Amino acid sequence: MGAGLLGRPALAEAAPSEKFVCTVMADVATGRTIVREGPAERRFSPCSSFKFPLAVMGFDSGVLVDPHHPRWDYRPEFQTTMETQKKAADPTIWLADSIVWYSQELTRALGPTRFRDYVARFDYGNEDVSGNPGKDDGLTQSWLMSSLAISPDEQVAFVRRFLGRELGVSDHAYEATTASLARYPAGNGWTLHGKTGSGFLRTGKGAIDRSRPLGWFVGWGEREGRRIAFTRFNLGNQRAETYGGMIARAAMMKDFAALAAR
């Protein structure tokens, strides 16, 4: 599901045994904060939740055409270790199955200047797409294992700007991204639109620490014309059999209706 890791700006803040859940929800029309629980100001790697803004970039630039075009074939040089990602994908499949190589083909097509400019225009987290020091890999790795970091508060702010059409992109970009994102039932008539992200913290020496899983679920809920932007983030302190993003998504699907009623 995209093995994104903790961004460097937040690494020093995570104690070895620390675990927590963070939930932020805000009414899109009024801006009222409905829920803000946990350390919502702390920044972590967006992992595959970054596919949400990547989709906006792709549709605005014309690299992506519509929810089912372009359809790109998997190639052996992509070297994914996940068998489920070794298949052809279009924008809808890419977002639903969180296919990393598709993201990287998209950013290569954008090129470093357009990619950097979009991240800055979106005011996305720390806006750092430099990548790993000395590797010149920010175009394909910055949101996964290195420099880019964002907080739950900032994730919700991005969703609100997206829904308010305040990102400075085309109408088609908003509409095609909405049509391509996966939808999930959340009870009491709510439908969630969103993207997961899963990863791990790093050790002090920079190695992946699989005993420190993290997970995102970012998007919005909609019912009868009302929309609520949300972020669910969880940080664990032991190995888990389920990806962190799947844990965050399941929890938000379960809790959303009750939280929205506050």
| CA 81 – CA 188 distance, rounded (Å) | 39
Nearest alpha carbon to residue 28 among 161, 185, 144: 161
User: What length does the chain have?
Assistant: 262
User: Do you find a cis peptide bond into 70, omega within 30 degrees of 0?
Assistant: yes
Known catalytic residue at 48: yes
* Tens digit of each residue's pLDDT, the chain (262 residues): 443 333 343 443 567 789 999 999 999 999 999 999 999 999 999 999 999 999 999 999 999 999 999 999 999 999 999 999 999 999 999 999 999 999 999 999 999 999 999 999 999 999 999 998 889 999 999 999 689 999 999 999 999 999 999 999 999 999 999 999 999 999 999 999 999 999 998 777 878 889 999 999 999 999 999 999 999 999 999 999 999 999 999 999 999 999 999 9
Task: Report the pLDDT value the prediction gives residue 11, as an integer from 0 to 100.
Answer: 40
| CA 176 – CA 200 distance, rounded (Å) | 31
Task: Report the pLDDT value the prediction gives residue 132, as an integer from 0 to 100.
Answer: 85
Q: How many CB atoms lie within 10 A of CB 69?
A: 11
Q: How far is CA 4 from CA 58, 80, 104, 208, 226, in A?
A: 20, 14, 13, 10, 32
Cα Rg of the chain, angstroms:
17
Instruction: Name the phi and psi angles at 86, rounded to 5.
Output: -90, 70
Out of 17, 45, 48, 170, the active site residue is 48
Q: How far is CA 157 from CA 47, 80, 105, 214, in A?
A: 17, 32, 27, 20
pTM of the model: 0.94
